[in-house]
Structure 1
């Protein structure tokens, strides 16, 4: 079985990182460095079914069906992940732990099987690494202490 396992340390408290990775308005800002996914219907409540909607690509609608499986705020979010067209159901987990004066963020995406799963994990792994290395730090750096985007943030989609 193939997996995606990424660990990043951020110089921000777990509550701030949690907000960035679970607030439906902030998620598209850091996923923009990948496929630009936005969550539709997402809430950090176990049993919530939601969709990630990204820019379609040849052979892919851009829609992923998900269900929240486990939540322990601000340390764990686990949800299922399945392409809208079907296929295997995989699982994503975000784990946040205090680390020094910041947060260690561990991203795991598991359940990929066979040759197709191996290649999917490789493709998604590259995209997720970019999102967690470039996209998420940019969002975290532009959040104030309350977890809101700073007024002059270039990431603010409402900014002219």
Structure 2
């Protein structure tokens, strides 16, 4: 039995952070903070806003799909033939926030992009934690 061609893979990263959702939200939605942990960008927290993430290796074309302050943020992530969707979910906990990031839409033949994203998001999350930790 072969898998249907529509079967896609997701990269999921989850972290418990000792910070309130509002603080993490700032790092996810303020362009100068996004630049510190992810890439240069022209992000605006508005549905349908198109923005570009620019890295040393190239750029990512994105469009905001959904936004619910301090709770959820979703945008398309298109780069080098990859059409995916990144969704951030913030859930308050007794000690801070459970942060979940899912990047969905990797085709089975996009193993390189998939493995690269798995590695990349771990690094981005480390940087994100540093940025959030430095916010007053």
- Normalised TM-score (structure 1): 0.77
Figure out how many residues of one structure are paired with residues of the other and give that number. Answer: 129
Q: Distance in 1 between matches of 2:37 and 2:78?
A: 21
Q: Which has the higher strand share?
A: 2
Q: Who is 1:138 aligned against? A: 130
Q: Distance in 1 between matches of 2:118 and 2:129?
A: 17
- Normalised TM-score (structure 2): 0.90
CA RMSD of aligned residues (A): 1.1
Q: Is this contact kept in 2: 1:93–1:108, CA < 8 A? A: yes
Aligned-pair CA distance for 1:18: 0.3
Q: Distance in 2 between matches of 1:130 and 1:88?
A: 20
Q: Who is 1:47 aligned against? A: 48
Gap regions ≥5 residues in structure 1: 32-36, 57-61, 145-160
> Secondary structure of 1:77's match?
strand
Cα deviation 1:2-30 (Å, max 9, x = unaligned) = 21000001100000000011110001212
Gap regions ≥5 residues in structure 2: 1-7
Of stretches 118-127 and 42-51 in structure 1, the one that deviates more from structure 2 is 118-127
1:4 aligns with 2:5: no
* Structure 1 runs (4+) greater than 6 angstroms displaced: none
